[in-house]
Amino acid sequence: MLREIELKRGLKDVYIDKTMVSFIDGQVGKLLYRGYNIRDLAEKSSFEETTYLLLYGTLPTRRELEEFDATLRSNRSLPKEVVQIIRLVHKAHPMDVLRTAVSAMAAFDPETRDNSLEATRRKGIRLTAQAPTIVAAHSRIRQGLEPISPNPKLNHAANFLHMLFGKEPPDDETEIIDKDFVLHAEHGINASAFGARVAASTASDFHSAVVAGIGILKGPAHGGAAEEVMKMALDIGEEDRSKEYARKILDSGGRIMGFGHRVYKTVDPRSIHLREEVQALGEKKGQPKWFRILSKVEEVMRPYAGRGIFVNVDFFSGTIYHLLDIPQDLFVSIFAMGRIPGWTVQVMEQYSDNILLRPMLEYVGPMDLEYVPIDQRG
């Protein structure tokens, strides 16, 4: 007699370990990185400082931050072979290109085989610095343009926009992208971080874990939702069509992308900051309609609050990128660039007290069938 099995499909509400990195209270919409509220970090910190906080566990002194920032700035270049690989695969989706390039980076990183915490942190810092160069280089190459070299005078966010568009961005646009990176930097054991941890749990290397994370983030149930939200907004086109459009999706059993979350059963705290940015940036760019379209969709979704379905981080981020003239298929890559510190620290935690992550499946198929030789099968 088999023992009774308690299935936890989708690992819903299952705790698999302890963490010192992020605290999430999905009932009240609270998110802390290393004890600090995302609200404060979004308003007062920078991506560089937040990355330091995540990777070292404390806020840096001014001197520590300067040194850390200098390390990031000096590690942005890519090996020429990786640029060649990007050229070879340039027709693929930007996330596939990012995944391939990160995988190739393992061949050039001096510490690929060293899984010590210090080496993993150093690899994470290098990859954090290099990921925007990969994404921007691919974006240029696929337009028939040459990649633009990183500019060490610019901060992480400004340098990305510079490499993408070939001109220095205005300060307010740099600040928006910087805030977006801060908000996306880490989020506990979400699907991609879990995938990265599974890879690390076999004592596989850091790059393999990040490659797993990128592949998982790409899905529309995870990071791919921002792109879908913008597609929806473009498809709606005019504010007065929003409600009917959203209702039609819901009536046919579909989902509104950018709503719902496995953990948040209230408004995703990250979305609050992005919401303000969409509104302000839309006004500045003379395109207030996107915010109005999204607000109408939110109105249709209001009754879903009773079922714990609220707006999430992806509902507004795509519109910000759109307003900054970033192509839709780059949206999830921007999420991935921001998330590298999070994947790094999750992998470090996994290595630091490792246990193989290996759940079970309940078998429900036929049992003990008789093997029939191939020439006797009907």
Residues with active-site annotation: 261, 314
Distance CA 284, CA 281 (A): 5
For the CB of residue 74, give the shortest distance to ligand COA in the complex, in Å. 34
Among 106, 280, 309, 357, binds ligand COA (CB under 6 A): 309
| Total of residues contacting ligand COA (CB under 6 A) | 16
Nearer CB in complex with ligand COA: 10/306: 10
Segment 240 to 259, residues that bind ligand COA, using CB under 6 A: 255-259
How crowded is the C-beta side of 180, counted as CA atoms within 13 Å? 33
Considering the complex, what minimum distance in angstroms separates the CB of residue 318 from ligand COA? 11
Q: Which of 70, 107, 117, 221 binds ligand COA (CB under 6 A)?
A: 221
Compute the distance between CA of residue 375 and CA of residue 378 in angstroms, rounded to an integer: 8
Burial of 371 (0-12, 13-18, 19+ CB in 10 A): exposed
Does residue number 135 form part of the binding site for ligand COA (CB under 6 A)? no
Q: What is the DSSP string of 195-214?
A: HHHHHHHTT--HHHHHHHHH
Question: Could you say whether residue 314 binds ligand COA (CB under 6 A)?
Answer: yes
269 binds ligand COA (CB under 6 A): no
Tokens found for residue 263: 């953990």
Sign of the dihedral defined by the CA atoms of residues 364, 367, 370, 373, in that order: positive
Instruction: Kindly state the greatest CA–CA separation across the chain.
Output: 77
In angstroms, rounded to a whole number, what is the distance separating the alpha carbons of residues 126 and 122? 6
Min dist. Cβ of residue 226 to ligand COA (A): 8
Least Å from the CB of residue 103 to ligand COA? 25
Q: Of these, 140, 261, 273, 296, which contacts ligand COA (CB under 6 A)?
A: 261
**Cβ distance 176 to 324 under 8 Å?**
yes
Told to check if 316 binds ligand COA by CB under 6 A, we report no
85 lines the binding site for ligand COA (CB under 6 A): no
Q: How many helices (H) and strands (E) does the chain have?
A: 16, 3
Q: Quick check: 338 binds ligand COA (CB under 6 A)?
A: no
Contact mark string toward ligand COA, 179..218, x via CB under 6 A? ----------------------------------------
Q: Does position 54 bind ligand COA by CB under 6 A?
A: no
Q: 16: how many CB neighbours lie within 10 A of its CB?
A: 13
Integer Cα distance of 49 and 66 in angstroms: 9
Give me the sheet containing 36-37, strands edge to edge.
Answer: 22-25, 30-33, 36-37
Q: Which is nearer to ligand COA, 159 or 271 (CB)?
A: 271
Question: In angstroms, what is the minimal distance from the CB of 312 to ligand COA?
Answer: 4
* Backbone dihedral angles phi then psi of residue 323, each to the nearest 5 degrees: -65, -20
Q: Is 275 in the site for ligand COA (CB under 6 A)?
A: no
Residue 21 binds ligand COA (CB under 6 A)? no
Least distance from C-beta 16 to ligand COA, angstroms?
17
DSSP E strand stretches across the chain: 22-25, 30-33, 36-37
279 binds ligand COA (CB under 6 A): no
Stretch that binds ligand COA, among 91-99, 102-110, 312-320, 351-359 (CB under 6 A): 312-320
For the bound state, the minimum distance from the C-beta of residue 12 to ligand COA, rounded and expressed in Å, comes to 7
Nearest Cα to 136, choosing from 340, 338, 326, 344?
326
User: What angle is formed at CA 366 by the lines to CA 360 and CA 370, rounded to 5 degrees?
Assistant: 125
Give the residue nearest to ligand COA (CB).
260
Query: Residue 377: phi, psi to the nearest 5?
Result: -85, 135
Q: How far is the CB of 86 from ligand COA (least distance, A)?
A: 28
How far apart CA 308 and CA 261 sit, in angstroms, is 9
Q: Of 113-121, 173-181, 310-318, 326-334, which part binds ligand COA (CB under 6 A)?
A: 310-318
Interface with ligand COA, residue 20, by CB under 6 A: no
Among 86, 161, 199, 313, binds ligand COA (CB under 6 A): 313
Residues near ligand COA (CB under 6 A) = 10, 221, 225, 255-262, 307, 309, 312-314
